[in-house]
Structure 1
Amino acid sequence: MKDKLLRLALVVTLLQIAGCASMGVEPWERDLLAKDEMLLDADPVDVGLDEHIYFSKEATSGGRAFGGGGCGCN
């Protein structure tokens, strides 16, 4: 029973390792990934509003190339 369980664990581990063998981006796929639609934050207005709300609630600023206080007035 232990041998079967050990073999099963070995097979599962090898399958997981083999599944991660091609994790890189191929050269012919880079043009698709460079499009504006592929950005994590595609809408700059939405990003600006989210950042304003975050820094206003956190009462901090900086780190994203702008200054100001926690009140959100800058």
Structure 2
Amino acid sequence: MYKTIISAVAFSLLAGGCSLQNVEPWERDILARDKMQLDPYPVDRYLDDHIYYSKESSTGGAGVGGGGCGCN
């Protein structure tokens, strides 16, 4: 139990230390690229979700219509 707490505290300290690094103005163009975003290809994710939910005949939180036949 204590090992879990200690490792969680150590991880949070390490992860928090990474956020203290300053980003220089000439480095911001690299961070602003589409592939650096959390969802770099939203259209591809939407289409994959649509196909998955159509085959599973259920809907998730992505806002795509459901149905087993895929004719939405």
| TM-score grouping bracket, smaller chain normalisation | 0.3 to 0.5
Who wins on radius of gyration, i.e. which is larger?
1
